[in-house]
Amino acid sequence: MRVGILTGGGDCPGLNPAIRGAVMRGLDYGFEFVGLELGWKGLVEGLTTDVSLGRVEEIIRQGGTILGSSRTNPFRKGAEELLEQCQENWKKLELDALIALGGEDTLGVANKFYKHYGLSMVGVPKTMDNDLDHTDYTFGFDTAAGVALDAADRLMDTAKSHRRILVLEVMGRHAGWVALHCGIASGADWICLPEIPLDTEEMIAALRRKRERGKTWGLVVASEGTELPTVDTEDVTVDAFGHVTLRERRVGDFLANEIEKALGVETRSVVLGHVQRGGTPTLFDRVLGTRVGIKAADLVKNGEFGKMAAIQGTEVVGVDLDLAVKALKTVPRQQWEEAVSLINK
Catalytic residues: 129
- CB of 4 closer than 8 Å to CB of 97: yes
238: Cβ–Cβ under 8 A, 6 or more apart, which residues? 244, 245
How far apart CA 322 and CA 115 sit, in angstroms, is 9
How far apart CA 186 and CA 149 sit, in angstroms, is 6
Number of other CB atoms surrounding residue 311 within 10 Å: 18
3-state secondary structure 242-311: CCECHHHCCHHHHHHHHHHHHHCCCEEEEECHHHHCCCCCCHHHHHHHHHHHHHHHHHHHCCCCCEEEEE
How far apart CA 45 and CA 48 sit, in angstroms, is 9
b/e burial code for range 105-144 (CB count within 10 A of at least 16 → b): bbbbbbbbbbeeeebbbbbbbbbbbbbbbbbebbbbbbbb
How far apart CA 192 and CA 251 sit, in angstroms, is 10
Sheet containing strand 190-192, edge to edge, reads: 190-192, 218-223, 165-170, 267-271
Query: Burial level of 286, CB count in 10 A (0-12/13-18/19+)?
Result: buried
Number of other CB atoms surrounding residue 327 within 10 Å: 12
How far apart CA 19 and CA 292 sit, in angstroms, is 10
118 torsion bin: left (phi>0), alpha (psi -120 to 50), beta (else): left
Q: What is the residue type of 286?
A: R
How far apart CA 142 and CA 146 sit, in angstroms, is 6
